[in-house]
Amino acid sequence: MRQALAMLLPLTLVLVACQREERDTRPQSALGSGEQPTPVTALEPGGQRPSASDNKAASFEANAFHLSEGKRLFGWFNCSGCHANGGGGMGPALMDEKWLYGSSIESIHATIRDGRPNGMPSFRQKIPDDQIWELAAFVRALSGNAPSSAAPQRNDDMMVHPSENRLPDAATLGKSP
């Protein structure tokens, strides 16, 4: 009996490992349309600060599927045209610690949806709301704000040097065969 129980425990653990996060590929209507205005500043007449949180933020922020979808869309929609893979070019860098409009996912979502002065265009209606959230989550992950278990990896072609198994053999390097 005790043996059977002892065997059951690892089996349960193995089965638990099968549990992966859900992939919501359809918009979840329960989370709202994402059309609520996002405050651009914390200053408010009368001193009452509007809440900056959105129902959708939590379900996108640390979700590996949404983060990887965001990475794919970042390439597809040519964000690199201005932000250069997050390093910054004509547009500001996205992988540093500086956030002109706040580091929360809601602010990044508002930036993509409504645009910002000096160049950032508005993608309202051009990108479905869920896809904007995916992009915002990925942009946040670029500067290490997402758990490493969920954040997508950097592409192979962007590594500073080839992976170790592709490097020339150190022993024979520089010597003629």
Q: Which residues make up the interface to another protein (CB under 8 A)? A: 23, 25-27, 33, 72, 76-77, 125-131
Contact yes or no for 67/146 (Cβ under 8 A)? yes
| CB-nearer residue toward another protein: 27 or 102 | 27
Alpha helices in 33-128 (DSSP H): 55-61, 64-76, 80-83, 105-114
List of residues 6+ apart from 120 with CB closer than 8 A = 91, 111, 112
In the complex, minimum distance from the CB of residue 34 to another protein, in angstroms, rounded to a whole number: 9
In the complex, minimum distance from the CB of residue 127 to another protein, in angstroms, rounded to a whole number: 6
| CB-nearer residue toward another protein: 62 or 135 | 135
In the complex, minimum distance from the CB of residue 133 to another protein, in angstroms, rounded to a whole number: 11
| CB-nearer residue toward another protein: 25 or 176 | 25
| CB-nearer residue toward another protein: 63 or 145 | 63
d(C-alpha 35, C-alpha 101), whole Å: 19
Contact yes or no for 105/57 (Cβ under 8 A)? yes
